[in-house]
Amino acid sequence: MAAGVLGAQPAGDLRARLREYLEAQEDVNGFSGAVLVLKNGQMLLRTGVGACDREARTPCKPQTRFRIGSITKTFTATAVLMLAERKKLGLQDAVSKHLPYAPESWKDVTIHHLLSHTSGIPSYTEPKPAEACARRTAEELVALFRDKPLDFAPGSQWAYSNSGYVLLGEIVSQVAGMSYEAFLRQAIFEPLGMSDSGYEGEQPLANGRAVGYSRAGGRWAKAECPDVSLLRAAGGLYTTVDDLQRFDEGLRKQRLLTLASLQRMYTPVASKSYGYGWALTTFGRHKVVAHGGSIEGFAAFLARIPEEQTLVVVLSNVEQTRVHRMAQELADLAYGQTVELPRRRVPVSLRNEVFDKYVGTYELAPNLLLTVSREGGRYLLQATGQAQVEMYPEAETKFFLRVADAQVTFITDPSGVTHSLLLHQNGRDMKGKKVD
């Protein structure tokens, strides 16, 4: 696929532009998955791309089931608010009211704090638990974080916590008198016709589900666990793009929650960018409620503009897929903006003595340094706290990475002395001054 720019074309070509963008993502970045774009209630794109089982050469389809990781939190928050509307619980209830095993340190933690990531309960997934593939009961999972001290006083700060949403799932189960997954099926999936959504521990190949992959250095590998019992109400669901459209419609038409509850869910708490189970962001001039999900072998992003009946869903069975960026660029295209197509980057030859003038340390931020070095003919880059990665020259001053969609440009003065670099990643440019 040649490099290019998509944008200012007649409205009738919109679907073609969207498909051309996906073709470039597949060709250059190895994207596979399913995508849906709905604008003002009109379906612009609903398609599968690439293979959802590379060994069997099974193509992805809109009906293919994907694990969605933390997008599960949007369903968990919805379930809690549904129970609040039914007067089964109060958002200011103490967690201990519904979970008798809650320790004394949680006495001031409320359901509101769990929903908004302001509880201070440390996230059990940081660092990743040992034996992530081992099945766990709810009690065993809670035991991973129950006795840890709070990171901060409830309500005083914001910190993303998978632990909080695991507890919300247990509260749903206690209050509803059935399992978390049974309540979701009875209260959300079945009323909305979401027949391809669920929470199960089956193998990925079962029932039309995608196989998850990891991709590094051009190589593909089947992703490892975790088993969904490690994730529960924080990230254990699977679904399809079609079912997520049904979920979006159910929320928008107030089939699940009243307008008052929806407004509360979309109102920021402590953090300016998170409400109850939804991230609050913008795509250009549009206010968006969204959530991403990342789990071994899968990446997912759901972006909604409820007032405009606009929805963008990107589900991928490659965990390195930059689904947030894809969703934003698909939305940009849908609204007539210009988007640069991904392109193949080909390394060129470079004399080592030319590169050596770039070797050194660059400061992107007070606590973020980039170290540039050379080992023989390999050109290396290392960010603070991260692994060393290789860069490849595409021009004398321009380099690209293969492990991530990132480029580095070195900037020199008229005498040829290098004084800074420019890191371009995720649509942003960060300048770093050479300090050593």
pLDDT tens-digit series, residues 81-95: 999 999 999 999 999
- The answer as to whether 193 is a domain residue is yes
331 shares its domain with 419: no
| Same domain flag for 172 and 212 | yes
Q: Are residues 229 and 87 in the same domain?
A: yes
DSSP 65: B
359 and 250 together in one domain: no
Number of domains forming the structure of the chain: 2
Domain boundary among 307, 340, 373: 340
Establish if 191 belongs to a structural domain.
yes
Q: Residue 400 is part of which domain span? A: 352-434
What was the pLDDT predicted at 131? Answer: 61
Same domain, 113 and 230: yes
In a domain, 426, yes or no: yes
Residue 349 to residue 306: CA distance in whole angstroms: 50
Amino acid at 370: L
Q: What is the pLDDT of residue 436?
A: 85
Handedness of CA 229, 177, 109, 169 (dihedral sign): positive
pLDDT digits (tens, 9 = 90+) for 51-75: 999 998 999 999 999 999 999 999 9
**Which CATH number is 388's domain given?**
2.40.128.50
For the chain, which residues score pLDDT lower than 70?
Answer: 1-12, 127-134, 201-207, 217-218, 225-228, 426-427
Provide the greatest CA pair distance for the chain. 75
Both 306 and 424 in one domain: the answer is no
Asked whether residue 158 falls in the same domain as residue 209, the answer is yes
- On whether residue 120 sits in a domain, the answer given is yes
H/E element, 393: strand 389-393
Count the Cβ atoms, other than its own, within 10 Å of residue 207: 12
What is the rounded CA–CA span in Å between residue 209 and residue 98? Answer: 35
Percent of the chain's residues with pLDDT above 90 = 75
Domain end, chosen from 340, 362, 387, is at 340
Do 206 and 272 lie in a common domain?
yes
Q: Is the peptide bond before 342 cis (omega within 30 degrees of 0)?
A: no
Task: Answer whether residue 17 is part of any domain.
Answer: no
Task: Based on the fold, state whether residues 336 and 357 are members of the same structural domain.
Answer: no
pLDDT of 284: 86
Identify the CATH number of the domain in which residue 274 sits.
3.40.710.10
Whole-number pLDDT of residue 345:
84
Question: Residues 274, 395: one domain?
Answer: no
Quick count: other Cβ atoms within 10 Å of Cβ 329? 24
Q: What pLDDT score was predicted for residue 181?
A: 93
Q: Tell me, what amino acid is at 300?
A: A
